[in-house]
Each structure stands twice: as structure tokens, then as C-alpha cells.
């Protein structure tokens, strides 16, 4: 009789497990690994610093302390969850109505006023900021630079002729590579975009934001792309395809969370 009861209990538990909803533990999030790179993280920071000096001679920086402080609080909240190397992230507002944002190697990130105004809530803005942080964390800028050097100066790669002393962008210019904020760092591949979407989804989840808002915002600005000169984001960040579906898949891997953050009074102000 005892054996029968044990068999019945085992069968009942098996049935419950079979029909129970599957929740994937956070450890099953998609692993991401930076690509081939001849530069060190310290050189990422140096290159970014040199290029940002050029950028800020040309960009109409917003120069609003309250906005920049808000962007830095938001950005640092997300950057706290970045795996791997901890870059010195900085977030700066740009007085440009175009919907765009971009990141330089080493952690300097520029966010246009037009992007802030186009976002419906803080989670949508956080999605773009997380996406840009992900490009920095995965070192996509210097990965692209490494691949460009492989075509132009393969022997230099073998010899390791890039030194830490002097201007790195100057050394690269001597090799025929114009390294500017309007050049190689802004032209990401679709693979890099997909990786940035996945890592951004993880950062949003970990920071308590609703990751679906990132996908919703990308869809929104994609619809706005019909208005010439307004949306510049996709010229630098090509849509990897199935963006919303991939974000949803990663959310499933991360598991659910009740009450994710969407908005704040600070964002509305």
C-alpha cells in the first residue's frame, strides 16, 4: 500500500512539473563576449578621450547641468550592472533635435535632446542609454578598428606597433585610418547591434526597468524614420532584424519580475 501511495505521489509530481510554467533562471541569460581586439581597455579610454575632444569642438553640447546630472545618474545606475571591465562612463546632452545617441570607446556617451524628447518614459530613454553602454562594454568601437587595421596593416598587427605613448589617433592616422567621431566608431554592424540589444536587455532587467520599452521605442522611432532629418539613429545603428522578438527571447531567459520601473518624475521634469 505504501509503495502504491509513493508511486501515485511521484506520478502526480511529474504531471505538475510537466504542465507547470517554465521559468528560466537568470544564470541562463545569453553569454556575450567581446570580439577580436588588439587594443587594451586602457587604450579604449585613451582613444575615446582623444576623439571626444574633437567631437566637442563640433557638437552643440546642451550645457545644462541639471540635464547632464540626470543623464549621469541614469547612466551610472545602468553601468553598475555591466559585466567585465569597468570603464569610466560619462553621459553628455547634445542640443540637437535629431533622434540619436552615440558612444565612444572608453565610455563617453552623447545623447541628443531630440532623443530625450521623443521618449515617452524613462524606461525608453534608459533603453537607448543601456544600448550605448553595451557598445562600450563589448568594445565594439575598437573591435571595428582592429578589423580595419587587419585589412590596411596586417604586419603592424603582428608586430604590435601601436604604443601607449603619444596620441593613439595620431599613430592610427599615420597608418591611413582617420579615427574621428564621425568615422569608424559610428558605423556598427548588425551583429554588434544585436549584441548591444541583448546586453542592454540584461542591464535594464538588472536595474529594474521594463526591457520591452526599449524595443517599443526602437519601433516608434523606426516609424518616424519617414520624416527626413529627424531620425539619425538607424544610419549609425542598423536594425539587426527581429529586434523585438530577440528582446522578448532574452526577457524569457531572464525570468519575470513584478512591477518593473517605467517612468520617473525626474524624467518628466
- Confidence (pLDDT) at 175: 63
Task: Read off the pTM.
Answer: 0.83
DSSP structure class, residue 31:
P
- Confidence (pLDDT) at 188: 84
- Confidence (pLDDT) at 54: 87
CA distance 112 to 114: 5
Using one digit for the tens of pLDDT, what is the confidence trace for 151-203?
A: 766 655 544 556 565 677 777 766 666 666 666 566 788 899 999 999 999 99
What's the CA dihedral at 143, 113, 71, 249 to 10 degrees? -60
Q: Which of 181, 173, 208 is closest to 78 using CA atoms? A: 208
Beta bridge partners of 111: 93, 101
- The one-digit pLDDT tens for each residue of the chain (269 residues) are 445 444 443 443 333 333 333 344 455 899 999 899 989 999 999 999 999 998 899 999 999 999 999 999 999 999 999 999 999 999 999 999 999 999 999 999 999 999 999 999 999 999 999 999 999 999 999 998 888 877 766 655 544 556 565 677 777 766 666 666 666 566 788 899 999 999 999 999 999 999 999 999 998 888 876 666 567 787 777 777 788 889 989 999 998 666 788 999 999 99
Beta bridge partners of 99: 231
Using one digit for the tens of pLDDT, what is the confidence trace for 34-49?
A: 899 989 999 999 999 9
DSSP structure class, residue 101:
E
CA 58 to chain centre: 24
**Sequence-distant (≥ 6) Cβ neighbours of residue 42 within 8 angstroms:** 164
Amino acid at each position: 500500500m505504501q509503495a502504491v501511495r509513493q508511486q501515485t505521489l511521484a506520478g502526480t509530481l511529474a504531471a505538475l512539473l510537466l504542465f507547470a510554467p517554465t521559468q528560466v533562471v537568470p544564470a541562463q541569460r545569453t553569454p556575450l563576449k567581446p570580439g577580436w581586439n588588439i587594443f587594451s581597455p586602457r587604450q579604449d579610454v585613451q582613444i575615446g578621450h582623444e576623439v571626444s575632444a574633437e567631437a566637442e569642438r563640433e557638437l552643440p553640447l546642451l550645457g545644462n547641468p541639471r540635464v547632464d546630472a540626470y543623464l549621469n545618474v541614469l547612466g551610472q545606475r545602468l553601468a553598475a550592472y555591466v559585466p567585465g571591465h569597468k570603464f569610466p562612463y560619462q553621459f553628455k546632452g547634445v542640443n540637437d533635435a535629431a533622434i540619436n545617441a552615440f558612444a565612444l570607446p572608453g565610455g563617453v556617451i552623447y545623447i541628443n535632446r531630440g532623443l530625450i524628447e521623443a521618449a515617452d518614459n524613462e524606461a525608453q530613454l534608459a533603453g537607448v542609454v543601456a544600448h550605448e553602454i553595451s557598445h562600450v562594454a563589448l568594445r565594439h568601437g575598437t573591435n571595428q578598428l582592429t578589423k580595419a587595421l587587419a585589412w590596411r596593416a596586417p604586419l603592424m598587427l603582428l608586430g604590435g606597433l601601436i604604443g601607449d605613448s603619444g596620441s593613439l589617433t595620431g599613430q592610427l592616422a599615420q597608418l591611413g585610418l582617420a579615427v574621428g567621431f564621425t568615422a569608424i566608431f559610428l558605423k556598427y554592424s548588425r551583429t554588434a547591434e544585436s549584441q548591444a540589444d541583448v546586453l542592454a536587455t540584461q542591464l535594464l532587467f538588472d536595474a529594474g526597468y521594463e526591457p520591452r520599452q526599449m524595443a517599443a521605442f526602437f519601433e516608434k522611432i523606426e516609424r518616424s524614420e519617414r520624416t527626413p532629418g529627424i531620425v539619425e539613429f538607424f544610419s549609425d545603428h542598423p536594425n539587426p532584424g527581429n529586434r523585438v522578438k530577440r528582446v522578448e527571447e532574452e526577457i524569457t531567459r531572464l525570468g519575470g519580475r513584478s512591477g518593473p520601473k517605467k517612468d520617473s518624475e525626474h524624467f518628466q521634469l
